Structure 1
Amino acid sequence: MTSATTWATPPTRTELIENLVSGVDRYNPSNVGILEDYLYHQIRSEEYDCLANLAILKLYQFNPDLHNPDVVINILIKALAALPFPDFNLCISLLDERPVTANPDEPDPLPSLLPVLQSLHNLLQQCRFPAFWTLYRSEKAESLRDNYTVEVVGFENAVREVVVRAVKAAFQRIGSQRLSSYLDLSGEELSAYAEKLGWAFDASTGVVLIPPNPDNQIESTVVQENIQLPQLVKVITHAQAA
């Protein structure tokens, strides 16, 4: 899981981007092209820089003429797999309500895809993983898959990493069929993925064993209170007076 420090300052961020994100130049509209190019670099390389992407959305807020719906959609796609960080909601908060374009030659894809993206985010956040994959594979999300996520290198595996974090925190043992529905993998793909994670697969029972970690271990806690006699006397005296 990404640490807060890495989230705020990714090691892959260049000095140029750091200056644009952290300095006063982040509000200079002439730099939007540099930040957009950096976004597409993230898409091709599986890197991620939320603050740089938020800077693009902020520039769009201040300069509506710069608004590019394709860029916005790609920013939201990258933010989907950032859970449990609130990146997606941060991005949504910077989107202004925009009228649907009347130009038939360049229709705005954002109004139709934004509800799909929000639904996918909600399902992922609620750990409703089978429902997430069902919606993602559905005809409703066909345009999103064919025109956008197909270009985002490692998108589906990034989503699976979100699933893995949730499964590791909640399970010590999980049925392979259930895990298959969570990861949208089956057969040899599922076995290879579990093996890569270091999870043991029991073929005789169809159960996947997840190694112990601080989140999936149940530990009893003993609470011991140490009350001194003078404190007890005060309590009894107060109770008698009442």
Structure 2
Amino acid sequence: MATATSTWLTPPTRTELIENLVSGVDRYNPSNVGILEDYLYHQIRSQEYDCLANLAILKLYQFNPDLYNPDVVVNILLKALTAAPFPDFNLCISLIDDRPVNANPDEPDPLPQLLPLLTNLHNLIHQCRFPAFWTLYRSDSLESIRENYTVECIGFEDSIREVVARAVRATFTRIGKERLGSYVDLQGEELEQFAARQGWTSDSSNFVIPSNPDNQIEAIVVQESIKLPQLSKVIAHSTKTQ
């Protein structure tokens, strides 16, 4: 957990320039928003992720409504989906609830229409309803997200599958192939290769997940030691209150 927190605070791929913008007073300088937006698109193209840098963009949009770019916001939310079960998506939502209205009638703001759909995707991931997630993601209602956004987000679907893998690793010691296939939206050889990359072995109908601290159920025996003087005080107090 400490390692995950450290990586979240300071991703190893973050440059010194971005570190100065995120950690220093310059994070509130609106002239730097272009640098942070370029960094976001670098994340999209390279399958990297930096939540704090993306939150800095949303904070600048809050303070400077004229800088607001709805496409940037949608991309930030899509990257946050891949961080589940961490609370990145909700952190982003908290900064865009009072989003400005796009004043340009020639470029309508897509966010009001897409935000409920993205929120539904997040809820399904958070609830580990993975088959329902893929059904919604592949549906006609999310066609605009797939064609305009996730198609540009390198490795988006694979990143979601890694979210699923973390949940499976923490929950199962053995899982049926058909069930896992519905969780990760893969079948046949692609499913076998996915499981192999996770280090999971297989038999005719199941994948076997190696033991780890999260998927092992161990009985815990709790013993309490009460000394006689303490017990005498409890009995005496009980007698007085009757």
The TM tier, using the shorter chain, reads over 0.9
Distance 2:15 2:169 in 1: 33
State the match for 2:226 in structure 1: 227
CA distance in 1 between partners of 2:30 and 2:159 (Å): 31
Q: 3-state DSSP class of the match of 1:3?
A: helix
Deviation readout 1:63-113 (Å, 9 max, x if unpaired): 11111111000000000011122111111111124446562x322211111
Secondary structure of the residue aligned to 1:151 is coil
Query: Corresponding residue for 2:142?
Result: 141
> What amino acid is the match of 2:221?
V
**Does the residue aligned with 2:168 lie in a helix, a strand or coil?**
helix
Tell me, yes or no, if the aligned pair for 2:62 and 2:99 is still in contact at 8 Å: no
Q: Is the 8 A contact 1:100 1:111 kept in 2?
A: no
Does structure 1 retain, via aligned residues, the 8 Å contact 2:82–2:159? yes
Q: Distance in 2 between matches of 1:86 and 1:227?
A: 42
Matches within 5 A, 1:63-82: 63-82=64-83
* TM-score, structure 1 normalization: 0.95
Find the aligned partners of 1:4 and 1:182 in 2 and give their Cα distance.
Answer: 26
- C-alpha distance 149-111 of structure 1, shift in aligned 2 (>3 A): same
Query: Which sections of structure 1, spanning at least 5 residues, go unmatched?
Result: none
Q: Which residue of 2 aligns with 1:216?
A: 215
C-alpha distance in 2 between matches for 1:59 and 1:99? 15
Which residue in 1 is equivalent to 2:162?
Answer: 161
Q: C-alpha distance in 2, partners of 1:72/1:240?
A: 66
Write out per-residue CA displacement over residues 159-190 of structure 1, whole angstroms, 9 at most, x where no aligned residue: 11111111111111111111100010111100
Amino acid in the other structure paired with 2:134:
W
Corresponding letter in the other structure for 2:150: T
User: What CA RMSD, in Å, does the superposition of the two structures yield over aligned residues?
Assistant: 1.3
Structure 1 counterpart of 2:38, which letter? D
Q: How far is 1:56 from its partner?
A: 0.5
1:122-142 deviation digits (Å, cap 9, x = unpaired)? 100010000000000000100
Q: Determine what percentage of the aligned residue pairs are the same residue.
A: 72
How far apart are the structure 1 equivalents of 2:100 and 2:116? Answer: 14
Distance in structure 2 (CA, Å) of the matches to 1:101 and 1:28: 23
Deviations 1:205-231 (A, max 9, x none): x11111111011010111111111111
1:130–1:184 CA contact under 8 A, matched in 2: yes
Count of residue correspondences: 239
Q: Distance in 2 between matches of 1:23 and 1:88?
A: 23
Partner of 2:9: 8
Q: Provide the residue aligned with 1:239 in structure 2.
A: 238
Mapped partners of 2:103, 2:182: distance in 1: 39
Q: 1:102 to 1:37 in 2, by over 3 A?
A: closer
Q: Aligned partners of 1:97, 1:11: CA distance in 2, in Å?
A: 31
Query: Which residue of structure 1 aligns with residue 53 of structure 2?
Result: 52
The more displaced of 231-240 and 131-140 is 231-240
Are 2:113 and 1:121 aligned? no
| CA distance in structure 2 between the partners assigned to 1:235 and 1:60 by the alignment | 61
Q: Deviations over 1:44-75 (max 9, x none)?
A: 11111111101111111111111111100000
| SS of residue in 2 equivalent to 1:13 | coil
CA distance in 2 between counterparts of 1:3 and 1:197 reads 18
CA distance in 1 between counterparts of 2:144 and 2:168 reads: 30
Partner of 1:33: 34
Structure 2 residue aligned with 1:202? 203
> TM-score, length-normalised on structure 2?
0.95
Task: Give the structure 1 partner of residue 171 of structure 2.
Answer: 170
Report the Cα distance in structure 2 between the residues aligned to 1:9 and 1:68, rounded to whole angstroms.
25
1:201 touches 1:209 (CA, 8 Å); kept in 2? Answer: yes
Amino acid at match of 1:220: A
**Is 1:22–2:15 an aligned residue pair?**
no
